[in-house]
Amino acid sequence: MKNNNINSYLNKLRKIISKELPKDECKNIMEYYEEYVADAGFETEADIINELGTPEALAKKIVEEHNEKFQSDNIEGTEKKGLSLGWVTFIAIIGSPLWLALLCVAFSLVVTVFALVITFGATGIGLALGGIGLIIGGVVLLFIDVVLGIYVVGCACIVCAVGILFIWLTILLVKCTIKVFNSLKTKKNKKKSEVIFD
């Protein structure tokens, strides 16, 4: 009767942990607890439960310890697996067609944004100045031909408005560009600080 109770406890434990752990680990753990129970000289299943807890509670504890150990082993393993300078150089040389292409694309994007800013700004200033010139010309033309003068002043106002719109778009584009570069810089600095503090 004594052995049946103890075997029942160990069988419950084996059944639970075999669902959660790899076969080898389960076998090693069960050998350990079978030896432990035999050496401790427990008389009944109640004695084992008083010492180790229920099979479910012990299995939960075993699985949690195994998972913690597995995670810490993986973290240590990845920290030790840093790339050497030789590998980094090799990857840089082999990947150079890709890296160079990506670098060219990034450079092209920066140049394009810069060109857009310059173009919008120059267009806006040109239209605004041209509109001001047309307004002056339209006012002078009012004294010669009223209808034509009003027409030129109206067109000049539209040209000035479009110029102001372009200037406003330029300012908006500059602000957005600065904001994007600052956010990229902030993310880069955060990553550096995380690496330093980890």
Q: What is the pLDDT of residue 6?
A: 77
Q: What is the pLDDT of residue 151?
A: 93
**pLDDT under 50: residue ranges of the chain:** 1, 77-79, 195-198
Q: What is the pLDDT of residue 126?
A: 93
Q: What is the DSSP letter of 82?
A: P
Q: What is the pLDDT of residue 1?
A: 44
Say how far apart CA 18 and CA 62 lie, in whole Å: 11
Q: Where are the domains of the chain?
A: 2-74, 106-188
Distance (Å) of CA 111 to CA 20, 107, 116, 183: 56, 6, 9, 19
SS3 14: helix
Q: What is the pLDDT of residue 116?
A: 85
CB 48, CB 6: distance < 8 Å: yes
Q: What is the pLDDT of residue 26?
A: 84
Contacts (Cβ under 8 Å, ≥6 apart) of 128: 160, 163, 164, 167
CB 152, CB 141: distance < 8 Å: yes
CB 40, CB 2: distance < 8 Å: no
Say how far apart CA 198 and CA 162 lie, in whole Å: 53
CB 77, CB 134: distance < 8 Å: no
Give this prediction's pTM: 0.44
